[in-house]
């Protein structure tokens, strides 16, 4: 635990109280499942940007980036850069057709194109990947709460779960969007102020070149070219295929608002990693013996005025909570609609809403348990793996459904999603393959889809050849 002054505590408590109060107040009218998960399809661009960026910029984009920068330098920026690039692609090519469909989840969209089995399968694949992102944010949250409040790990975990419940179980996507906007304001002020101070401190170091040689500290491929390319590709593909971000697109009042809101979220997300990189590098020199995961919260306490450091701690804590809340809501919406409603035929808005809220709570608890058992792992590694798993099996069939529909049969689409995910999971967790699971999944998916397209075209050719006009009499 690190000692906080009265100034730290006052600003931290006041900031948390304001964010929680505004979030709860703004969601007091949520009564139906559609209002809970899609804001009644009336979200403006800023609420969409808040919901997306509020989920993107969690523990991984702040504490996790500083943790990686503590050891590798500038290459840690790839995380928020990759997230932003993924959002730009989503806005430019995918937002319009997805919002135009008028659906609620990505599994519904794929189920419409590839049959009833595709929806639940997509839900399970996406939920597995999203769960690992939630683990990454919970890892950051536990480390920070332990440092600031001096709690045991299980106590820190209980506090995070309680805050997630307050943030999203009360108001769903609207709660996540409002809290996302609030924390973005807090984070941008404090994080960039802290980053400016850290950058000046780096510039004043007399032996800077000796402390930070160009490689690895300023190399974009500090962890190796295959690793960096795989991670960035995982982020771009994963962002496009994530229910949490697609859900915000579906909530837009129209297709143009969906694209604009997603682009605003990208503009917010990309630069956020830079201050955390500078802070991680400063802490590498000034505090070489700490756990890297503590670099950012310790910097806010030790190197900023108490009032600003307290606000920053509150902003980061809420960024973690908001990220977990948004990710859990994405899983909850898929489970409620694609498993509860479509597979088990649960009816009634109240029951669907209840399943959604219970799923959010269950996902948060499960992510917390996984985080507690992997306390010393790298936060960003969980997110890279998450993006690879959630996108590798879904990306190719989803892209075909949007841009080249009715060419791939349901059988081959479902086989592609199932086979690519199984191979990626077994390769990563069972066989410990050195290849990024995204590339494994995409390779299998492309092979199966390719066979399916050839079979489909061949079958169509045979049918066309068999059509013989009746001779005229």
Q: Where residue 167 sits, what CATH number does that domain have?
A: 1.20.1730.10
Q: C-alpha angle 351/327/382, rounded to 5°? A: 140
Tokens for 170, please give them. 């009360």
Q: What is the DSSP letter of 377?
A: S
Question: Regarding predicted confidence, which is higher, 343 or 193?
Answer: 193
Give the highest mean pLDDT range of 196-205, 256-265, 430-439. 196-205
Q: How far apart are CA 279 and CA 377, in angstroms?
A: 20
213 is a domain residue: yes
Q: Which residues contact 273 (CB under 8 A, 6 or more apart)?
A: 61, 65, 76, 77, 79, 80, 81
Q: Which of 41-55, 191-205, 253-267, 416-430 has the lowest mean pLDDT?
A: 41-55
pLDDT band at 274; cut points 50, 70, 90: very high
362 is a domain residue: yes
The string of DSSP codes covering 282-298 is: HHHHH-TTS-GGGHHHH
pLDDT of residue 37: 46
Q: How far apart are CA 355 and CA 353, in angstroms?
A: 6
Range of the domain at 121: 6-377
> 277 to each of 212, 226, 433, how far by Cα in Å?
13, 21, 29
pLDDT band at 473; cut points 50, 70, 90: very low
Q: What does the pLDDT look like over 321-361, one tens digit per residue?
A: 877 887 888 788 778 877 787 777 777 777 877 887 888 88
Cβ–Cβ under 8 Å, residues 457 and 473 = no
pLDDT of residue 38: 47
Count of the separate structural domains present in the chain: 1
The position carrying tokens 């990309």 is 270
pLDDT band at 41; cut points 50, 70, 90: low
Tokens for 205, please give them. 């170091």
121 is a domain residue: yes
This prediction has a pTM of 0.84
Give the highest mean pLDDT range of 23-27, 171-175, 217-221, 355-359. 217-221
397 is a domain residue: no
296 is a domain residue: yes
Answer whether residue 42 shows pLDDT above 60.
no
Q: What is the DSSP letter of 104?
A: S
Beta strands of 18-150 (E only): which ranges?
none
Taking phi over 0 as left and psi of -120 to 50 as alpha, with beta for the rest, 151 belongs to beta
Q: How far apart are CA 229 and CA 223, in angstroms?
A: 10
> 178 to each of 40, 46, 185, 265, 318, how far by Cα in Å?
15, 9, 11, 14, 12
421 is a domain residue: no
Q: What is the DSSP letter of 270?
A: G
Answer whether residue 319 shows pLDDT above 70.
yes
Beta bridge partners of 252: 43
Give the highest mean pLDDT range of 72-81, 94-103, 321-330, 369-378. 72-81
Tokens for 467, please give them. 């059509």
427 is a domain residue: no
267 is a domain residue: yes
Angle of helix 349-372 versus helix 153-164 axis, rounded to 10: 160
To 10 degrees, the CA torsion angle through 267, 271, 273, 274? 180
Answer whether residue 212 shows pLDDT above 60.
yes
Give the highest mean pLDDT range of 19-33, 86-100, 336-350. 86-100
The position carrying tokens 């962002």 is 239
Residue 412's nearest CA partner among 377, 450, 439 is: 450
Question: Regarding predicted confidence, which is higher, 80 or 52?
Answer: 80
Q: Which of 103-107, 130-134, 278-282, 297-301 has the lowest mean pLDDT?
A: 103-107
pLDDT band at 235; cut points 50, 70, 90: very high
Cβ–Cβ under 8 Å, residues 253 and 39 = no
Residue 246's nearest CA partner among 110, 405, 400 is: 110
């Amino acid at each position: 635990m690190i000692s906080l002054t009265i100034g730290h505590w006052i600003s931290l408590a006041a900031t948390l109280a304001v964010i929680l109060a505004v979030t709860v107040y703004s969601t007091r009218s949520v009564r139906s499942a559609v209002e809970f998960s899609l804001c009644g399809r009336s979200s403006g661009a800023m609420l969409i940007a808040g919901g997306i960026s509020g989920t993107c910029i969690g523990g991984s984009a702040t504490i996790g980036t500083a943790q990686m920068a503590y050891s590798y330098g500038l290459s840690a920026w790839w995380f928020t850069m990759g997230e932003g690039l993924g959002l730009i692609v989503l806005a430019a090519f995918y937002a319009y057709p997805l919002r135009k469909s008028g659906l609620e989840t990505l599994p519904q969209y794929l189920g419409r194109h590839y049959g009833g089995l595709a929806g639940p399968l997509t839900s399970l694949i996406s939920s597995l990947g999203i769960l690992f992102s939630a683990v990454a944010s919970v890892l950051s949250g536990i480390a920070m709460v332990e440092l600031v409040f001096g709690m045991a790990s299980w106590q820190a975990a209980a506090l995070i779960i309680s805050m997630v419940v307050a943030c999203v179980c009360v108001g769903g996507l609207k709660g996540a969007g409002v809290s996302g906007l609030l924390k973005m304001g807090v984070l941008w002020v404090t994080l960039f102020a802290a980053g400016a101070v850290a950058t000046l401190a780096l510039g004043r170091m007399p032996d800077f070149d000796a402390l930070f040689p160009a490689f690895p500290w300023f190399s974009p491929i500090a962890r190796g070219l295959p690793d960096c390319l795989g991670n960035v590709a995982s982020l771009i593909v994963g962002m496009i295929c994530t229910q949490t971000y697609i859900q915000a697109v579906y909530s837009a009042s129209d297709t143009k608002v969906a694209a604009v809101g997603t682009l605003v979220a990208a503009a917010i997300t990309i630069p956020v990693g830079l201050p955390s990189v500078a802070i991680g590098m400063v802490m590498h020199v000034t505090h070489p013996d700490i756990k890297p995961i503590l670099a950012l919260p310790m910097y806010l306490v030790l190197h900023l005025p108490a009032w600003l450091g307290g606000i920053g701690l509150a902003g980061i804590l809420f960024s973690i909570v908001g990220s977990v809340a948004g990710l859990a809501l994405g899983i909850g919406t898929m489970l409620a609609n694609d498993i509860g409603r479509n597979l088990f035929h649960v009816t009634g808005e109240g029951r669907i809403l209840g399943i959604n809220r219970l799923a959010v709570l269950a996902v948060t608890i499960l992510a917390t348990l996984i985080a507690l058992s992997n306390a010393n792992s790298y936060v960003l590694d969980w997110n890279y793996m998450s993006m690879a798993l959630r996108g590798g099996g879904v990306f190719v069939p989803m892209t075909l459904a949007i841009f080249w529909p009715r060419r791939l049969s349901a059988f081959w689409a479902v086989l592609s999603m199932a086979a690519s995910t199984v191979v990626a999971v077994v390769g990563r967790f069972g066989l410990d393959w050195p290849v990024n699971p995204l590339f494994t999944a995409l390779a299998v998916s492309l092979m199966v889809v390719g066979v399916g397209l050839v079979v489909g075209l061949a079958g169509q050719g045979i049918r066309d050849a068999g059509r013989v006009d009746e001779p005229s009499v």
